Structure formats: structure tokens, C-alpha cells
Amino acid sequence: MFLPQEIIRKKRDNQELTAREIAWFVEGITSDSISEAQIAALTMAVFLNGMTRDECVALTLSMRDSGRTMDWSQLDLPGPIIDKHSTGGVGDTVSLMLGPMFAACGGFNPMISGRGLGHTGGTLDKLGSIPGYNPFPTPEQLSQAVREAGTAIIGQTGDLAPADKRIYATRDVTASVESIPLITASILSKKLAAGLDALVMDVKVGSGAFMATPERSRELAESIVAVGTGAGLNISALLTDMSQSLAPCAGNALEVRCALDYLTGVARPERLHAVVMALCVEGLLAGNLAATRQEAETMLLRSLDSGAAAERFARMVSILGGPGDLLENPDAHLASAPVVKDILIPREGYLTAFDTRALGFAVVALGGGRLRSDQMIDPAVGLTDICELGAPVKEGDLLLRVHARSDEDYRKVLPMIHEAVTITQDPPVPQELVQGRIVGT
């Protein structure tokens, strides 16, 4: 028998908690025998003093075991369960392509995704712009989608890692969200509950990233890989650039259209394609579906060029309630904004920097995102044709195109967008798209 205040005191005094102490505390969170004040006290102690890898592994596994864990063995799937998680950004529509590409290469991808909050877009919001798509299917529908489409992008239900939900709610109101051990446990507990064999992490770096500095992004990636490895997961992480929108668009239906164009070969923007391929290669290697990077790249390009990946996406959408002809008739199903206006480059020079976070908040201001979890969003609004960093520009060139519900909304975001852009007379130093790779030891 443990006392919660003694566990809190121990971590407050920077002592290492045992796996049994952590498991007991998390069980109390799940059963409501631990109070909000006690959760807040322990999370603040962790925020201030950190956790060892063994502590964080114990916390992750206890949070995973606080609810249901998915078991895919009854489906007798002929390939590994592979997933990817991103720390979030602007124009990050990778998940919509990655799942179908994994599936077309022999993997299976039940992906638990979330809604957007703050400046970052959410995969569930993007899929929510597809009429009829149900991100909370019955177990039978989910099994059918995973078995037949090879991918199913769904939302987190209350019975998956329920301790995480209660812990996060407390962290959110007590200024302990940024704790790397708590972020690590939150991400991995949900991924492990999904029954994965392999996971690739996409940790963003730059002005639109969740973490404030490149050093903090790397620290988070190293923590997730170390703890995931300690929990028995085959895992690697890439540090990828978020100094500008990943896709040349941001907004829910707009990003779905971008993903459809990518899968069908209509358009594959260079930066987006490079990150999609890098993450997919990591996933195929982690899932032992390819022996070399070159073999993985060949498999992935074949999945795109043959139409196999696009067909997997279409099948997933249809099984989960969406239209059966989305690939063929996207304009018939995806909402479009009534006001579409250009914002032009104000002077000659080089586009040197974007405040990508500010661009994300411009999408929120248009109605395409949320600052509170209870806010409704407009799927049609957002930004397209976003000019790339480093481009030589002259006065009157297109900076980006705004898709708005009204002229008033368009005028509202004009100053936000102008202030987010830096134009200089000298070209910027180009940023590497993939700025690091971290693997388990």
C-alpha cells in the first residue's frame, strides 16, 4: 500500500520512483482515487525534476495499461502494424498519404489521430471535411478497414489510455504541458495501446514547431526513441523542418485535396514529397518490409505510380462512411470557400523567413482551426499557393491565396500574414528538410 503524498514527496525531492509506485499512482488516476490536486503536484514535480528513462518507461506502460489495448492477432494480418506520429505543424498532411502508402507496401496502419489545437492542424479535422467520414467506427468497421484497406485513421476513444486524458487535462491548466517526460509518456502510451510493431516519429523543428527551440525538439525526439525502445517498440525519429508550411497549403479541405492530388499524381510538391518519402522509408525499414533504403524508396514510388496507394485511401474512406467516388469527384464532396483572394509580394527581394506559427493562427482566425477544444471549425477556409522560402520575388508576385468565408475575414488576416513574412535583399541560408535521425540503442 502506497500513499500518494509520499510518492509526490519523493519526486518533489528528486528521487527516482519505482515502477510499482508509478503503476499504483496511475491506477489511482484511472479509478479517481487520486485527486486533481495530487495529479497536479506530481506532474509539476516531474516538470521541475524530470524522470529517468526507467521511470518514463514505467509511466508510459502504466498509462497504456490504464485502458484497452488493441489486439490485431485475430485478424491474422500478413504484415506488421506500422504507424507514424508527428508533433504537429502547419500544412502537415503527411498522415493522409503515409497510411495508404504503408498499406500498399504490405504494412497495416491503424492510426489514432487527434484534432488541431492552437496553430497546428489536426488530422481528424482534415478527414472531418470529407462528408460522412466516421473517425469513431464500430469495432467491426475498424477491423474491416484495417483488413481490407490496410489503413484506418481514427480518433482516440475514451477506453484507450484513459489515464492520459486526465493527466493532460491537469497539465493543461497547471503550466506543465512542456515537460518532455510527460509529453513522451502521453504520445507513446496511446501508440502502444494501438498494438503497434513499429513507429516512426516526425519531430518538427522551426518557427511552426511545437517545441520552442531545435535543442528542445532533439531532446524530445531522443526521449521518445529511448523510452519507446525501452517499452519494446521498434522506433526511430526524424527531425524535420517546420520553418514554413510543409505543403503549399493549410486548411482542412484544402489539405485533403492536396493529399488526393499527391496520391493520384496530379501534383507532388517537392518539400512535402521529400518528407513523406523519408518517413515512409523509416516505417518500411522499422517494419522489416524492406532491407535497404533504396528498396524501400522503390516500393513506395511503385505504390504511388501504380495507383495502389490512392486505391487504399479510397477504400478506407468508403468503409468508414465517406463517398465512394472521392478520388474521381473531389469537387463534388469537398467544401470550397466563397471568397478567394490573393495576397501579393510588397517589394522585390528574397523571401527569407516565415513566422509559420503566425500563418497557422491566420488559418485559425479564418475559422479553420480552434483555440479551445469545443470550437467548431470551417472545413473550407485556409491558405493555398504559399510561396516557398528562399524564392526570389518581385513586387506584385503571388505570396499566397486566402480562402475565406467573407471579405471581412479576408481583411482580418491581411496584417497577420504580412507581419509573418520577412523579405530581404540577400538570399537566406537554406534549411535541410531532414535535420537529424535518431534510432534506438
Same-domain pairing of 345 and 321: no
Cα separation, 221 vs 217, in Å, equals 6
For residues 191 and 312, state if they share a domain: yes
Mean pLDDT of the chain: 94
- Asked whether residue 151 falls in the same domain as residue 242, the answer is yes
User: Which of 277, 299, 330 corresponds to the end of one domain?
Assistant: 330
Q: What is the DSSP string of 393-435?
A: E-TT-EEEEEEESSHHHHHHHHHHHHHTEEEESSPPPPPPSEE
Q: 343 and 404 in contact (C-beta within 8 Å)? A: no
In a domain, 115, yes or no: yes
Instruction: Please confirm, yes or no, whether 190 is among the known catalytic residues.
Output: yes
Residue 56 in domain = no
- Catalytic residue status for 418: no
pLDDT at 116 over 80: no
Which residue bears the cell 477504400?
Answer: 315
Give the total number of structural domains in the chain.
2
Q: Are residues 248 and 310 in the same domain?
A: yes
Q: Which of 84, 126, 218, 315 is catalytic?
A: 84
Domain CATH number, residue 378: 3.90.1170.30
The pLDDT of residue 125 is above 70: yes
Residue 124 lies in a domain: yes
* 198-205/234-241 β-pairing: parallel
From 83, 125, 164, 355, the catalytic residue: 83
Alpha carbons within 13 A on the beta-carbon side of 17: 33
Same-domain pairing of 244 and 126: yes
Domain membership flag for residue 24: no
**Residue 89 covered by a domain:** yes
Indicate if the pLDDT at residue 253 is higher than 70: yes
Q: Which of 66, 123, 217, 356 is catalytic?
A: 123
Q: Is 370 a catalytic residue?
A: no
Please say whether the beta carbons of 100 and 150 come within 8 A: yes
Any domain includes 161: no
C-alpha cell at position 174: 497547471
List phi, psi (to 5°) of 2: -110, 160
Average pLDDT over residues 399-410: 97
Lowest mean pLDDT among 17-21, 96-100, 430-434: 430-434
Which residue among 64, 165, 171, 271 is the active-site one?
A: 171
Given a contact cutoff of 8 angstroms between Cβ atoms, the answer to whether 113 and 155 are in contact is yes
CA separation for the pair 40, 11 (Å, rounded): 12
Name the band, by pLDDT with cuts 50, 70 and 90, for residue 370: confident
pLDDT tens for 283-338 read 999 999 999 999 999 999 999 999 999 999 999 999 999 999 999 999 999 999 99
> Do 247 and 318 reside in the same domain of the chain?
yes
The residue out of 330, 362, 394 marking a domain boundary is 330
Other CB atoms within 10 Å distance of the CB of residue 73: 7
- Residue 117, pLDDT score: 66
Is 165 considered catalytic here? no
Residue 264, pLDDT > 90, answer yes
**86 assigned to active site:** yes
Q: Are residues 184 and 92 in the same domain?
A: yes
Per DSSP, helices labelled H in 87-154 are: 94-104, 123-128, 139-144
Q: What pLDDT is attached to residue 376?
A: 85
Same domain, 96 and 181: yes
Are 376 and 324 found together in one domain? no
Q: Does residue 84 have an active-site annotation?
A: yes
Q: Last residue of some domain: 302, 330, 358?
A: 330
Residue 130 maps to which CATH number?
A: 3.40.1030.10
Which is the catalytic residue, given 115, 165, 190, 204? 190
Q: Is the dihedral of CA 327, 330, 333, 334 positive or negative?
A: positive
Task: Report d(CA 118, CA 159) in Å as an integer.
Answer: 25
Name the band, by pLDDT with cuts 50, 70 and 90, for residue 430: confident
Catalytic residue among 165, 191, 218, 357: 191
**Which residues share a beta bridge with 400?**
343
Do residues 132 and 262 share a domain?
Answer: yes
Do the bridges between strand 151-155 and strand 109-113 make them parallel or antiparallel, or are there none, so unpaired? Answer: parallel
Helix intervals (H) in 231-323: 252-264, 270-286, 293-305, 308-319
Q: What is the mean pLDDT of residues 11-34?
A: 97
Domain assignment present for residue 284? The answer is yes
Query: Catalytic: 83?
Result: yes
Question: pTM score, two decimals?
Answer: 0.94
CA–CA separation, 384 vs 247, rounded Å?
Answer: 9
Residues 257 and 381 both lie in one domain: no
Catalytic, out of 11, 85, 119, 315: 85
In a domain, 247, yes or no: yes
pLDDT tens digit sequence for 150-202: 999 999 888 889 999 999 889 988 989 889 999 999 999 999 999 999 999 99
Expressed as residue numbers, the domain containing 294 is: 73-156+177-330
- Annotated catalytic, 204? no
Residues 244/386, Cβ–Cβ less than 8 Å: yes
- The answer on 350 and 277 residing in a single domain is no
- The helix (run of H) or strand (run of E) holding residue 25 is helix 19-31
Percentage, residues of the chain above pLDDT 70: 99
* d(C-alpha 180, C-alpha 182), whole Å: 5
- Cβ pair 123, 281 in contact under 8 A: no
pLDDT at residue 204 tops 80: yes
